Structure 1
Amino acid sequence: MRIAVIGAGFGGIAVAHLLRQAGFGDLVIFDKADGPGGVWRDNTYPGCACDIPAPLYSYSFALNPDWSQRFPPQPEILAYLRRCVRDFDLETTLRPRTEVTAADWTGEAWRVTLGDGTTETFDVLIPAMGQLSRPVVPVLAGAEDFAGPAMHTARWDPGVDVAGRRVGVIGTGASAIQLVPAIAGTAAHVSVFQRSAPWTLPKPNRRYGPWRRALNRRFPALMRAARAGTWLLTVITGKAVTGSRPARLAVWALSTAQRLVQARGMRRAVTPDYAMGCKRVLFTADWFRTLRRGDVELVTADIERVTAAGIRTADGVLHACDILVYGTGFAATEFLTPTRITGRDGRALHDEWRAGAFAHLGIAVPGFPNMFLMYGPNTNTGNTSVVYFHEAQARYIVQAVRLLAARGPVEVRPEVAAAFDTEMQRRLGASVWAGCDSWYRTPGGRVVTNWPGMAAEYAARTAHLDEADYATVTPRRPPAPRQAPAGPRHQERTAGGPAA
């Protein structure tokens, strides 16, 4: 079995490691960047850190005794992933600076096309590009006129110095809520442009001293206990998002109390106008205190246009900026874009997903044999560690690869995938997301990112692969090339290279 994994983030590393452990060693991990890490390689903005406690935001099979704090910063997480690649002996399987532009099912295998135009053949295709790989930059009138540097938080330019500069930050999501406190006091002034206020919860961070790290190394059970405790806390927040009235009331009260205490004088501006769960609930210890600083301004008026000197809002005020930063998130609903994937009978995945992405358990799509997704549709979580979901998916994929190794090419049955998708949309339609605006929805109104239940339910449903869910696909070899007629040899001229 030759296996291609696309992406070297948390998901790609997890599935590659578990496949290697299961005896499937002939695999390649492609990544278009210069090393592993995924979002933790790409996001280097000041203040970037995890908002899930580290004991849970790590692999259960690779607990890290050396975290410096409960919510570790980006460099530590990136170093952890690089160490995992080394410890799992995946360095020889990793091909950095190699983009996969297309993958086509030939009838018996996957033909993968790389960025340099070369192709390779694999028995199994595992896209693990994630939902947070394509930054979204909103289309703003006059944006091209801005005279200073402009960048997305996921494309932070370390050569741009914010010291003594006026910085405009567009957005108040997970990135902005970390960036603004990190640069306030260094920048001359920070203008924060808010479309909608986020729901927040206190961030109980704490540092882990040398004694704690030494105890973790000496007694690994302490790390497992911390992981279990963190898990219990996420169960409470998960129940709040998925509909438990007591849990929802408790989390709402905690969030409201944080605003009452920390956002004096600006509570109306920072109170969300949508249901909790429509956007990710954010953890912070210093957001509201930062907004109350004299050198920080929260702007709630709509942006009218960008000028050479800054941003003019609908109330006629020009907010002078030397630097613009877009903290505007990612195209989470556009799975696998821009890679072109063509399955059985020439079916383009982009066309199959035109009304919104779907996959059985977020992993398998009918008509695409031997292809299994990591972090696919309806596997996002707004309250716990996505790494937990990655591990569940990776274990399921190991079972799927064992199945096709025994039976030959397999694909999920259409009726199985359709039943799962119908269940997802029904449950999501009866949940908090039914009343949300467009944050989680496709233009057709489908919710394709989030899992509607608790994380433990997802782990249970992926723990055992039901072989009856999959049909064996008869390998179909491509037709033999037509024999050239006898006679003098001749050369055909083709545009752009040899004929396919």
Structure 2
Amino acid sequence: MNDVTATQPLEVLIIGAGFAGIGAAIKLLEKGVTNFRVFDKAGGVGGTWWHNRYPGAACDVPSHFYCYSFEPNPDWSRLHAPQPEIQAYIERCAEKYAVMPHVELGKAITGLSWDVKRSLWSAAFADGDTAEARFVINGMGALHQPKIPQFRGADTFTGETMHTACWNPDFDPAGKRIAVIGSAASAIQAVPELARTAAMVHLFQRTPNYIAPRNDYAYSDEQRTQFRSDPDAMRAERERIFNEAETRLWSLIVDQASRDRTRELLKLYLGTQVRNRKYRAALTPGFDVGCKRLLFSDDFLASLNEDNVELVTEPISAFTGGGIVTADGAERPLDAIIYATGFDIESHQRSIDIRGENGLSLSDAWKDGARAYMSVLLPDFPNYFMATGPNSGVATTSVVFMIEQALDWIIRCIDRAGDNGVVTVTPEATARYNREVDERLARTVWVTGGCRSWYHSAEGRVETLFPGNANDYRGQMSKIEPDDVRIAAPAIAEMAGAGR
């Protein structure tokens, strides 16, 4: 067993090398903090965008708003950047801001425990290594741990199977008969790409989703030249995207009339794209617009008109050695089965055995649901911060914008703690904050819209989304309330020798 921190505890241990982890590292370096490490279980930098490499993978958020505010990118090729460009952007940022010397890849953390006597977190790794740190910033994203439903006979299928988040780069769809299970965000990007060369693509849909046009386009050479020569033009593009989303998307969440109008527009769009009447009926949701994630695509619906694409709504009964049997008894012969079934959000949140004061485990602290103060802090878990904690998802904006607000708040706390301070939050403040969150969520379509989704916990509470728009979230994260957040010297004076 080795100590990866060598001679002294770290000042900050960062989990994850995606937008949150790399962003945290950059902000620490800006503050002059160099005694930190970024650990990621993956083999490369990029987080979500390292794991999700399936054909057609791209971002729904326009590119010029899906990047750090301090590092605009004039060279985005399209309005909505594809996966390779986003991963390359994160890698460039890590290199440019000298983060890579602090990054250790292939390092999966399995446990964290708080040592109250030394005011340090101890980390255990899957390979047997250990580390210690004053502060922990958990920057793990939620969109990488596959959720794979259980089907009878799944272990008997002799063809290739994979989840979109665990894509086999050697898989060639040409001439193959392929099943795609799931019809949400990953599926609607992958299906049109697979159908280009596959002999047949069978899309197994359980629940329809509202799908809007993405209106994607390539930036011209002239536009990219302008962005390079005129930073104000890039800032204007970013501001335009921000304001449009704040106005258009937030109204869907809180205003029924806006949802009704949008639903009719999306029905018209569906009618212009899909010729098959049976398909159109099957693709029409029975819940309110915005209750589930609104999907965007320019080519998915049209791909359902192709002779080699079939929409299957009959439930799956079982897998066989050579295909899938549906409840009506029909069997479809297959060469490959692809799970586009989303991510296991709840298991992801509890994937590390985290133990705070008095040995309290995070699983026990969250036995009645995942809650945190301002999505960032937890009672009984001193000096432990989450960049994308419960109720942090701002539905109107880029996750990168949200991450930056959270990181600024976290870094201010660490800065105020000085050389030996401990940051805690009171249980009363946490309970009050979450009561307010639940009261505001009750007025949103996520609660009133008549659906269940990955936004909800098993008990039905909305645990992933913030009950406001991006400006609301920015305002919340602009201040640290001293009555709620306590920064004090350790209760026990046996201090460790961490240094900045």
Measured after TM superposition, the shift of residue 195 of structure 1 is 0.4
Listed as ranges, the matches of 1:11-160 within 5 Å are: 11-107=20-116, 108-160=119-171
Q: Is the 8 A contact 1:130 1:376 kept in 2?
A: no
2 CA distance for matches of 1:280 and 1:176? 13
2 CA distance for matches of 1:2 and 1:10? 20
2 CA distance for matches of 1:334 and 1:453? 26
Who is 1:458 aligned against?
473
Q: 3-state DSSP class of the match of 1:378?
A: coil
Q: Is the 8 A contact 1:277 1:432 kept in 2?
A: yes
184-193 vs 249-258, which deviates more?
A: 249-258
Number of aligned pairs? 479
2 CA distance for matches of 1:465 and 1:410? 11
Listed as ranges, the matches of 1:194-205 within 5 Å are: 194-205=205-216
Aligned partner of 2:452 among 437, 444, 463: 437
Listed as ranges, the matches of 1:209-228 within 5 Å are: 209-228=220-239
Q: Is the 8 A contact 2:11 2:135 kept in 1?
A: yes
Aligned partner of 2:196 among 185, 194, 199: 185
- Structure 1 residues 253, 224: CA separation in 2 closer, same or farther (over 3 Å shift)? farther
Q: Is the 8 A contact 2:123 2:132 kept in 1?
A: yes
2 CA distance for matches of 1:462 and 1:441? 24
Q: Is the 8 A contact 1:242 1:454 kept in 2?
A: no
242-251 vs 211-220, which deviates more?
A: 242-251
Who is 1:397 aligned against?
410
Asked if residue 446 in structure 1 is aligned to residue 461 in structure 2, the reply is yes
Asked if residue 357 in structure 1 is aligned to residue 374 in structure 2, the reply is no
2 CA distance for matches of 1:149 and 1:478? 56
Measured after TM superposition, the shift of residue 436 of structure 1 is 2.5
2 CA distance for matches of 1:207 and 1:310? 39
4+ runs of 1 displaced by more than 6 Å? none
Who is 2:5 aligned against?
none
1 CA distance for matches of 2:287 and 2:494? 54
- Normalization by structure 2: what TM-score? 0.93
316-325 vs 231-240, which deviates more?
A: 231-240
Q: Is the 8 A contact 1:335 1:376 kept in 2?
A: no
Aligned partner of 2:425 among 412, 431, 444: 412
Who is 1:372 aligned against?
385
Asked if residue 269 in structure 1 is aligned to residue 276 in structure 2, the reply is no
Measured after TM superposition, the shift of residue 453 of structure 1 is 1.3
Measured after TM superposition, the shift of residue 248 of structure 1 is 2.6
Q: Is the 8 A contact 2:402 2:470 kept in 1?
A: yes
CA distances 1:398-452 after superposition (whole Å, capped 9, x unpaired)? 1110222267112111111111111222222332122322532222222111112
Larger Rg: 1
2 CA distance for matches of 1:379 and 1:275? 22
- Normalization by structure 1: what TM-score? 0.93
Which amino acid letter does the alignment assign opposite residue 157 of structure 1? N
2 CA distance for matches of 1:381 and 1:255? 23
Measured after TM superposition, the shift of residue 478 of structure 1 is 8.3
Asked if residue 162 in structure 1 is aligned to residue 173 in structure 2, the reply is yes
CA distances 1:453-475 after superposition (whole Å, capped 9, x unpaired)? 11110111001112221233634
- Structure 1 residues 423, 333: CA separation in 2 closer, same or farther (over 3 Å shift)? farther
Aligned partner of 2:255 among 219, 238, 244: 244
Asked if residue 340 in structure 1 is aligned to residue 353 in structure 2, the reply is yes
1 CA distance for matches of 2:474 and 2:249? 14
404-413 vs 144-153, which deviates more?
A: 404-413
397-406 vs 26-35, which deviates more?
A: 397-406
Q: Is the 8 A contact 1:281 1:382 kept in 2?
A: no
Asked if residue 316 in structure 1 is aligned to residue 329 in structure 2, the reply is yes
Q: Is the 8 A contact 1:277 1:382 kept in 2?
A: no
CA distances 1:240-279 after superposition (whole Å, capped 9, x unpaired)? 3321245434432332221121123231011112222232
Q: Is the 8 A contact 1:416 1:469 kept in 2?
A: yes
Which amino acid letter does the alignment assign opposite residue 88 of structure 1? Y
Q: 3-state DSSP class of the match of 1:4?
A: strand
2 CA distance for matches of 1:62 and 1:188? 43
1 CA distance for matches of 2:14 and 2:393? 20
Q: 3-state DSSP class of the match of 2:64?
A: coil
Q: Is the 8 A contact 2:350 2:362 kept in 1?
A: no
Q: Is the 8 A contact 2:145 2:348 kept in 1?
A: no
2 CA distance for matches of 1:5 and 1:196? 37
Q: 3-state DSSP class of the match of 1:138?
A: coil
- Structure 1 residues 470, 370: CA separation in 2 closer, same or farther (over 3 Å shift)? same
CA distances 1:14-49 after superposition (whole Å, capped 9, x unpaired)? 122112212222211001112210010111111111
238-247 vs 342-351, which deviates more?
A: 238-247
Q: 3-state DSSP class of the match of 1:238?
A: helix
Gaps of 5+ in 1: 480-500
Q: 3-state DSSP class of the match of 1:423?
A: helix
Q: Is the 8 A contact 2:420 2:490 kept in 1?
A: no
- Structure 1 residues 76, 111: CA separation in 2 closer, same or farther (over 3 Å shift)? same
1 CA distance for matches of 2:26 and 2:479? 19
